[in-house]
Amino acid sequence: MGKKNRARGADRARRRRQTCADEAAVAWLDAAARPGGRATGLRRLAQLPPSAALAAADRLAHTLATHLWHHGWQPRELYRQARVQARGTTTRLVEVAVVADLDRVLAGDAELHPDWAAQAAQVVEADPDATAGWLGHRPPTSEYPAIAEALGVLGRLPPLEVLVPPPGTLVVPGRATSAADPVLDRVRHLLAKAESTEFEPEAVALTEKAQELITRHALDRALLHADAHDVAGEPTLVRIAVDPPYADAKGLLLQRVAAASRCRAFSLTGLALEAVVGNAHDLRAVELLFTSLLVQAQHALAEAGRAAPPGSHPRGQAFRSTFLLAYARRIGERLAAVNEHVLGTHPSDRSALLPALRADQDKVDAFLHERFGTLTNFPVRGGGSAAGWASGTIAADLAHLTAGDLGSRSAPA
């Protein structure tokens, strides 16, 4: 009997030591993820067995991801944020942390809203190699600084407005939810690849593929076949990814499109995300038109590069940023003219239309102020190329302001 008691006591003591070691590893990782404690935390981590350090990293990543899910971040947004916030090896480590946690959530028993579950499944299916997490990948100890930075990326992200109910909940009180469109995500991915390639034929091919997706899938039909659960007439919020480079200029284009559709768009600083507030029907129109216009701008930029004479710099930063700024300005002017034309073709209804439009705008402004307070204006960076300004203005004049079925019902521009 005494031997059994001693064995049980030894086992309890061993478990206590292991628990203390695990907690210490997490504490050292947490310190390493903060700039002030990085050197000490990394030195302590190097003294641990790799399996213990990586298990603690997975545990801390899960804690941080859970916090972000319950503070508004959606699966696609958080996975994409690795490319926005991180560099080099850290980018991949953030992706692995996010996918591993999503895989854990999908395999668990928490209630999942269909929109959230669909996003999570899409991210996991697109990157199945990451489901094992850091412990499964066994990165070398030389990557501990990158692991700490990956945890720092997750720990520094701010809370967002909850748009899709997070795990364990099915409803956002007072909010009609709206899932992101995977086709739009694919279009944006093609545009990002076209922007990053150094080979002009590849850029042209990628933008043509994006344009093909816009047409083939008839993105504007999402407006014609609105979801039955939308709350008509009440303002709500969506977030739209605006990928670098030139995120400021692309964001300006979105803001001009939103303003012309009785919505308000503003940048979420440092996240390459734009929040757009408006009526649910108007928000779908904004996202679809913005995506179509961005595809057309990218196509025009690719054509400018292909047709450029020797010695010019159509793929240079100054040209491209100025092009997009001019494009956004001119698109805003054209959309304003379309709105004025629509009102002008209904002179007998104008006195009734204007108060109704103003009432909608007042609702949007009140919603915006209630959720976000007073917004601050910042100058848009870029510009300085006369050729880019001229090319961007011409491209905007040639751009189609509608896509697919909507074109037959819209005023000429």
Least confident of 98-102, 136-140, 328-332: 136-140
Interhelix angle for 144-156 vs 50-69, to 10°? 10
Q: For residue 22, what pLDDT is reported?
A: 57
Question: Apex CA 63: angle with CA 58 and CA 68, to 5°?
Answer: 120
- The amino acid present at 148, given as its one-letter code, is A
In a domain, 366, yes or no: yes
In a domain, 163, yes or no: no
Q: For residue 240, what pLDDT is reported?
A: 93
Per the structure, the complete domain to which residue 197 belongs is given by 182-409
**pLDDT tens by residue, 148-162:** 889 889 988 999 999
Share of the chain above pLDDT 70, in %: 74
Work out the pLDDT band at 404, boundaries 50, 70, 90: very low
**pLDDT tens by residue, 214-225:** 555 433 444 344
Q: State whether 152 and 186 are in the same domain.
A: no
Work out the pLDDT band at 227, boundaries 50, 70, 90: very low
In a domain, 98, yes or no: yes
H/E run at residue 111: none
Asked if residue 19 has pLDDT above 50, the reply is no
In a domain, 379, yes or no: yes
Asked if residue 372 has pLDDT above 50, the reply is yes
Q: State whether 187 and 151 are in the same domain.
A: no
Q: State whether 306 and 396 are in the same domain.
A: yes
In a domain, 177, yes or no: no
Least confident of 22-26, 280-284, 346-350, 393-397: 346-350
Q: For residue 228, what pLDDT is reported?
A: 41
DSSP assignment of 311-341, as one string? T--TTSHHHHHHHHHHHHHHHHHHHHHHHHH
Work out the pLDDT band at 231, boundaries 50, 70, 90: very low
Q: For residue 251, what pLDDT is reported?
A: 93
Q: State whether 52 and 147 are in the same domain.
A: yes
Q: Which of 320, 328, 291, 290 is nearest to 304 (CA)?
A: 320
Show which of 122, 156, 190 is a domain's final residue.
156
Q: State whether 235 and 353 are in the same domain.
A: yes
Radius of gyration of the chain (CA): 25
Q: Which of 157, 395, 391 is nearest to 269 (CA)?
A: 157
Q: For residue 281, what pLDDT is reported?
A: 73
Q: State whether 389 and 303 are in the same domain.
A: yes
Q: State whether 101 and 216 are in the same domain.
A: no
Q: For residue 17, what pLDDT is reported?
A: 43
Q: Higher confidence at residue 181 or residue 209?
A: 209
Q: State whether 23 and 127 are in the same domain.
A: yes
**pLDDT tens by residue, 187-212:** 777 777 776 777 777 877 777 677 66
In a domain, 173, yes or no: no
Q: For residue 393, what pLDDT is reported?
A: 93
In a domain, 383, yes or no: yes
DSSP assignment of 108-133, as one string? S-S---HHHHHHHHHHHHH-GGGGGH
Q: For residue 141, what pLDDT is reported?
A: 74
Q: State whether 74 and 111 are in the same domain.
A: yes
**pLDDT tens by residue, 36-64:** 667 777 787 778 788 888 888 888 899 99
**pLDDT tens by residue, 329-362:** 999 898 888 777 766 655 555 555 566 667 777 8
**pLDDT tens by residue, 248-295:** 999 999 999 998 888 899 998 889 899 999 887 778 778 878 988 898
Q: State whether 297 and 370 are in the same domain.
A: yes
Integer angstrom CA distances of residue 15 from 21, 28, 138: 10, 20, 24
pLDDT (mean) for 292-307: 85
Q: State whether 212 and 268 are in the same domain.
A: yes
Instruction: Check if the beta carbon of residue 324 is closer than 8 Å to that of residue 297.
Output: yes
Show which of 90, 121, 156 is a domain's final residue.
156
Alpha-carbon distance of 183 to 288, in angstroms, equals 11
In a domain, 171, yes or no: no
Q: For residue 7, what pLDDT is reported?
A: 55
Q: Higher confidence at residue 219 or residue 129?
A: 129
Least confident of 211-215, 296-300, 313-317, 366-370: 211-215
Structural domain count, the chain: 2
Q: What percent helix, strand, coil does the chain show, rounded to 5?
A: 70, 5, 30
Q: The pTM is what?
A: 0.76
pLDDT (mean) for 374-388: 79
Q: State whether 233 and 362 are in the same domain.
A: yes
